[in-house]
Amino acid sequence: MDPDPHLPVLDRYRADVLRRLVETVLEERGEGIAGGGRALVGQEWFTEGSGTRHPLGQLAEALAPLDLSLWKGVIADHLSVAGPAVTPETLSDAEFRERLRVRLTARSHLAPSVADLAPDWLPGVAQELVLHLPGHVHTVTEADLAGHPSYADLVTEALAHTSALVEHVQGVTLPEQGTDRVTVVVGPEHFTATLATALPQLLHHATDEADWGHGVFVALPTRSKVLYRVVDGADAIGSLVRMFHQAQQAFDSEPGPVSPHVYWVHGDTWRQATGPDASGAPSILVREELEAEFARAAWL
């Protein structure tokens, strides 16, 4: 064991995991800053939303005998009693705007109080404005906007705040080298799907990939999940079919639905690649276009 010099009950690796998990939980509680929660965590302490500094040593001692899989829950419980209650009414305009995030939501699942406020990002997918408060997410309604800029202006600002969370994502590709491989991205619970609005940065942070020039297949079935496959060969069609089924299942059965479709993304252009055909049956809608793309790439 190589003890961490600041938290000696843990080795260096586990101490670093502790700090990163505290950063993540602080951000999920809405106690980060626009650039993410990292600035609030030091080598031996963390600072919660009110500005109060807390030592990490007590947490380290509590976590030392536990499996890593249990750590985030223990940290969340610990932090839940660390800070004072924060509500929209207690925030200054600057604090209100700093805590704003954009949460993608299926338009059919929007609350009536915001259905006329939230703009579409894609057909059927709305950009819902929320306040990231300690311990919960508050949906911004018209009543909350008194003394603040317009909903549309705040969405633009909040999207920049949300995109800064991209450094917290993790990507897992399964099967790792399979012809139908799909990368599953997980990140901040309510905002992972929103991070796909900055797709190049998401690809970089999740798996250090980039668009080869042939586009990327992307699915946003729920707020907390993104699926993708960079189109880098003809076998990407297998990934598209697999994503099609996974996205539909997650959209229908998991919390926070966003879209059941797979999109073929070129730069800033998102084209729906799956959906009902003329008869209403689930189908791939871009077969001819994909064949042409694959032919131009000499993959056929």
Cα torsion through 63, 67, 72, 75, rounded to 10: -10
Q: What is the pLDDT confidence band of residue 37, given thresholds at 50, 70 and 90?
A: very low
- Among the listed residues 213, 165, 205, 168, the one whose alpha carbon sits nearest the alpha carbon of residue 183: 205
The β-bridge relationship of strands 170-174 and 182-186 is antiparallel
- Are 75 and 20 in contact by the 8 Å Cβ rule? The answer is no
Residue 133 has pLDDT above 50, yes or no: yes
- For residue 135, count other CB atoms closer than 10 A to its CB: 14
Q: Which two tokens stand for residue 55?
A: 């030592």
What is the predicted pLDDT for the residue at 204?
A: 96
Give 241-261 as a 3 state SS string: HHHHHHHHHHHHHCCCECCCC
Residue 134 has pLDDT above 80, yes or no: no
Question: What's the whole-number mean pLDDT along residues 19-30?
Answer: 81
Q: What is the pLDDT confidence band of residue 39, given thresholds at 50, 70 and 90?
A: very low
Question: Alpha helix locations (H) across 176-235?
Answer: 199-207
242-268: per-residue pLDDT in tens? 999 999 999 999 989 999 999 999 999
Residue 205 has pLDDT above 90, yes or no: yes
Provide the 8-state DSSP code for 119: P
- Are 170 and 205 in contact by the 8 Å Cβ rule? The answer is no
79-124: per-residue pLDDT in tens? 776 655 567 888 889 999 999 999 999 999 998 889 999 999 999 9
* pLDDT-above-70 percentage for the chain: 92
Q: Which helix (H) or strand (E) holds 22?
A: helix 12-28
> What does pLDDT average to over the chain?
89
33 or 40, greater pLDDT: 40
What is the predicted pLDDT for the residue at 185?
A: 95
Residue 34 has pLDDT above 70, yes or no: no
- Are 165 and 195 in contact by the 8 Å Cβ rule? The answer is yes
- Among the listed residues 122, 300, 293, the one whose alpha carbon sits nearest the alpha carbon of residue 212: 293
Residues 6 or more apart from 30 whose CB is under 8 A from it? 49, 86, 99, 131, 132, 133, 134, 135, 136, 137
What is the predicted pLDDT for the residue at 223?
A: 94
Q: Which two tokens stand for residue 88?
A: 């929209």
Question: What's the whole-number mean pLDDT along residues 278-288?
Answer: 90
What is the predicted pLDDT for the residue at 35?
A: 42
Geometric angle at alpha carbon 10, from 28 and 19, rounded to 5° = 20
